[in-house]
Amino acid sequence: MPSTSTGYRQVSGLRRFTRYYAFSLGTVVRDWAFLAFVILMPVTMYVFFTSVFGDSADDSVTATMMIMMATYGGLGAAMNAGASIQSERSSGWFRNLMLTPLNPAEFVGAKVCTAVTVVIPALGTVFVAGFIQGIRLPMSTWAAMLALLLLALLPMVLMGLVIGLWFKPQTATAVTTLSMLTLSMLGGLWIPLEAMPAGMQSIGRLLPSHWAAQIGSWPLAGGGFPWDGVQVIAVWALALIAVGALGYRRAIRTSRR
């Protein structure tokens, strides 16, 4: 009998998770302006940069531009994981969620899966643009770059959730946009880190956005794997998990008032 009860709870939890994931994904898909921004903007910037520097750049430079713009697009898609939380909090739906059996692991898991579902086309669209622009790589290299970028950007999903939990809906969007632009600029996604002053280079090497691009480009660039970047990303992930847990508890308390 206990095993049957445990199995029922597992099935019930999976059903709750699936339904909430579908609900969260539907909220994102209906926001056409957001999808256009995170998918079309990086592609537009990539095409622009390759048009400006294409004649003077070799294939490796063009491919590096593609990785940087894919990271930028994935960064925007990942960080907007908190957008649905903002909508839920402003509409009062978050308060209703707290009255359901949905537990924190199911809540966060559904939000992360929703963000990953959006990040994949944000990355893939830039890769398609790179292929159209003439970049030819083995299929294994394309797959490795996509997988590594996706894994390296997961902490940015957590950052989006933290912003959505800690900030009011009226200010969360501005904080998300400002954080994304700061991480992109200082992380060397628009201008190579080597072209920046020494102080900015030091800051850039502490940011997960910089290392996400480095890890994503490793199958293309070769050499030693950037394990320093893995450590930086891991530290950010642990810190964001801790801050996010506090923010979730705080959001629950305030929603029940």
Q: How confident is the model at residue 19 (pLDDT cuts 50, 70, 90)?
A: confident
pLDDT of residue 97: 67
Residue 168: C-alpha distances to residues 80, 115, 202, 247 (Å): 15, 20, 32, 12
How confident is the model over 2-15, as pLDDT tens digits? 444 454 345 477 88
Residue 85: C-alpha distances to residues 69, 94, 225, 255 (Å): 26, 7, 36, 12
Whether this prediction's pTM lies above 0.95 is answered by no
Single-letter amino acid code for the residue at 245: A
Q: How confident is the model at residue 242 (pLDDT cuts 50, 70, 90)?
A: very high
What is the rounded distance in angstroms from the CA atom of residue 33 to the CA atom of residue 152?
25
Of 210, 176, 178, 168, the C-alpha closest to 72 is 210
Share of the chain above pLDDT 70, in %: 85
pLDDT of residue 256: 53
How confident is the model over 115-171, as pLDDT tens digits? 888 889 889 999 999 999 888 899 999 999 999 999 999 999 999 889 988 888 778
What is the rounded distance in angstroms from the CA atom of residue 67 to the CA atom of residue 145?
8
- 66 or 98, which is more confident: 66
Query: What is the mean predicted confidence (pLDDT) over 195-211?
Result: 94
Query: What is the mean predicted confidence (pLDDT) over 187-207?
Result: 92
| CB-CB contact of 163 with 172 (8 Å) | yes
Computed from CA positions of residues 5, 10, 15, 20, in that sequence, does the dihedral angle turn out positive or negative? positive
Share of the chain above pLDDT 90, in %: 36
- 38 or 176, which is more confident: 176
Report which secondary-structure segment, H or E, holds 1: none
Reported as half-sphere exposure (CB side, CA atoms, 13 A), residue 221 has a value of: 16
pLDDT of residue 94: 67
The single-letter DSSP state of residue 250 is H
What is the rounded distance in angstroms from the CA atom of residue 83 to the CA atom of residue 32?
13
Mean pLDDT of the chain: 83
**Cα(first)–Cα(last) distance of the chain, in Å?**
39
